[in-house]
Amino acid sequence: MDVYEALYTTRAMRRVRPDPIPPEVQARILDAAVRAPSGGNAQNWRFVLVDDPAARSALGPLYRQCIDQLWATIYKARVESARADPDLPESRATLAMVASVEHAADHFAGYPLFLFAFHRGDTTGGSIYPAVWSAMLAARAEGVGSSLTTVLAFKGDAVPDLLGVPRDQGWKMAACVPLGYPTGAWGVARRRPAHEVAYRNSWGAPVGFEINQPLWPSQD
Amino acid sequence: MDVYEALYTTRAMRRVRPDPIPPEVQARILDAAVRAPSGGNAQNWRFVLVDDPAARSALGPLYRQCIDQLWATIYKARVESARADPDLPESRATLAMVASVEHAADHFAGYPLFLFAFHRGDTTGGSIYPAVWSAMLAARAEGVGSSLTTVLAFKGDAVPDLLGVPRDQGWKMAACVPLGYPTGAWGVARRRPAHEVAYRNSWGAPVGFEINQPLWPSQD
């Protein structure tokens, strides 16, 4: 797969089939992940793949509680605003996101595989999220859907303790990536155009080009 | 370019030519970056491309001071240990990294382009570093080398103020990515094998496979 196809079409895929992901596919995902950069190439990362039914069943209610907390706090105003005026484009996007996340919360134990990423001594996240994103891009190349969630941190140490993480050694959970073969189609994620979020040399100054439709696939 | 080639060969490339990076290449890099995920698809990110000679000249001494501080603090023990026993494989790797970063510090104003990434309200980094890494992968596909540095944060508000960032609106600098056409060859980054940093279902449990050489390029 072309790198641009992966970069443009790796969007959150939360509706997946229960089919297992073969070990050789898991290996290609992890081997790609560890090629990512980390500060000073320190590679202070650990990954835990979870496919055990008992562990997956334990994760389900934890994720549900975190999502309920998310709707009741951080996203409360945004979701209420979207429900009050559901036909606005940004309301539609919010409500589609809510429906997708609710599907995940209703079926969390049904993901055949989870990738958990842990880091140590990384104060910015700059030494772990490139590896997490590489794993998701490699999964895309393998036809495996993924999404990235950090909300399980709402449950404090519950997930690290479930997975036996030696917290006294400084390991912290950075992300949970549920994985599975998607039921839906891949597509280019809708985003605010780059020239609206980019400047040149000084904040607010035009970046010098306009990009009014995605540059991939090529229009040539 | 195949996505795996990009994932395996996008390593820090700090030795670059002064040649400018064409605007259409910059546009492809930024348009790929904004396809990355962000929490709730909030896209609370801004990017500043810096190619102005005066701004680049101002960045040079700031980066030099940050690197000197890095060697004198976080990396002090590691570098001293490497110099004391320079023939060990891990010492060689450390000293090669030091030489590469010193080259960057000696020639910082010579990078033809910098990409600065800013975020707002992202407590983990999970909503900005995927976009930064996507930019670096797209740059790789365009033949443009990059590296990721967060050390300019040592200078506090100096860089945000240089770029006119409205800090009172909550925007924080996440990364600086110097860009340029590399003088050297692309190669697969050396990493600790994935099975040594990955477990299955429980911390410390074997992940179930061994990967004794990079899975890309394919050995078939």
Predicted confidence (pLDDT) per residue in B45-64, tens digit:
999 999 999 999 999 999 99
Mean pLDDT of chain A: 97
Cα–Cα distance, B77 to B164 (Å, whole number) = 36
* Structure tokens, B195: 């099975």
The average pLDDT across B33-37 equals 98
The confidence band for B189, taking pLDDT boundaries of 50, 70 and 90, is confident
Q: Is A69 an interface residue toward B (CB < 8 Å)?
A: no
Q: pTM for the complete prediction?
A: 0.98
CB-based burial, B154-180: b 16+ in 10 Å, e otherwise: bbeebbbebbebeeeeebbbbbbbbbb
A12, A41, A134 ranked by CB distance to B97: nearest? A41
The average pLDDT across A115-123 equals 96
Q: Which value does ipTM take for this structure?
A: 0.98
CB A47 within 8 A of CB B198: yes
The confidence band for A218, taking pLDDT boundaries of 50, 70 and 90, is confident
Q: Is B77 an interface residue toward A (CB < 8 Å)?
A: no
CB B105 within 8 A of CB B64: yes
Write out pLDDT tens, residues A152-202. 999 999 999 999 999 999 999 999 999 999 999 999 988 999 999 999 999
All structural domains of chain B with their residue ranges: 3-192
Q: Which of residues 5-34 of A touch B (CB under 8 A)?
A: 5-8, 10-12, 23-24, 26-28, 30-34
Indicate if the pLDDT at residue B219 is higher than 80: no
Indicate if the pLDDT at residue A44 is higher than 80: yes
* pLDDT for B54: 98
The average pLDDT across A100-124 equals 97
Express as a percent the part of chain A with pLDDT over 90.
Answer: 97
Q: At what angle do helices A129-141 and A23-33 cross, to 10 degrees?
A: 140
Residue B49: helix, strand or coil by DSSP? strand
The average pLDDT across B139-162 equals 98
Residue B12: DSSP 8-state: B
Burial of A42 (0-12, 13-18, 19+ CB in 10 A): middle
Q: Which of residues 146-205 of B touch A (CB under 8 A)?
A: 147-148, 150, 153, 163-166, 174-175, 188-189, 191-195, 197-204
* pLDDT for B220: 64
The average pLDDT across A27-34 equals 98
| Residue A177, beta-bridge partner list | A115
CB B36 within 8 A of CB B126: no
Indicate if the pLDDT at residue B135 is higher than 90: yes
| Residue B114, beta-bridge partner list | B50, B178
Shortest Cα–Cα distance, B64 to chain A (Å)? 16
Right CATH for B3-192 from 1.25.40.10, 3.40.109.10, 3.40.50.300, 2.40.30.10: 3.40.109.10
Give every CB contact of residue A91 below 8 A, 6+ residues apart in sequence: A81, A82, A83, A85
Q: Is A68 an interface residue toward B (CB < 8 Å)?
A: no
Indicate if the pLDDT at residue A102 is higher than 90: yes
Shortest Cα–Cα distance, B117 to chain A (Å)? 9
Cα–Cα distance, A216 to A214 (Å, whole number) = 5
Per CATH, the number for A3-188 is 3.40.109.10
The average pLDDT across A67-79 equals 97
Indicate if the pLDDT at residue B156 is higher than 70: yes
A6, A27, A134 ranked by CB distance to B211: nearest? A27
Cα–Cα distance, A195 to B137 (Å, whole number) = 19
CB B63 within 8 A of CB B108: yes
The average pLDDT across B121-142 equals 97
SS (H, E, C) chain A: CEHHHHHHHCCECCCECCCCCCHHHHHHHHHHHCCCCCHHHCCCEEEEEECCHHHHHHHHHHHHHHHHHHHHCCCHHHHHHHHHCCCCHHHHHHHHHHHHHHHHHHCHHHCCEEEEEEECCCCCCCCCHHHHHHHHHHHHHCCCEECCECHHHHHCCHHHHHCCCCHHHCCEEEEEEEEECECCCCCCCCCCCHHHCEEECCCCCECCCCCCCCCCCCCC
Mean pLDDT of chain B: 97
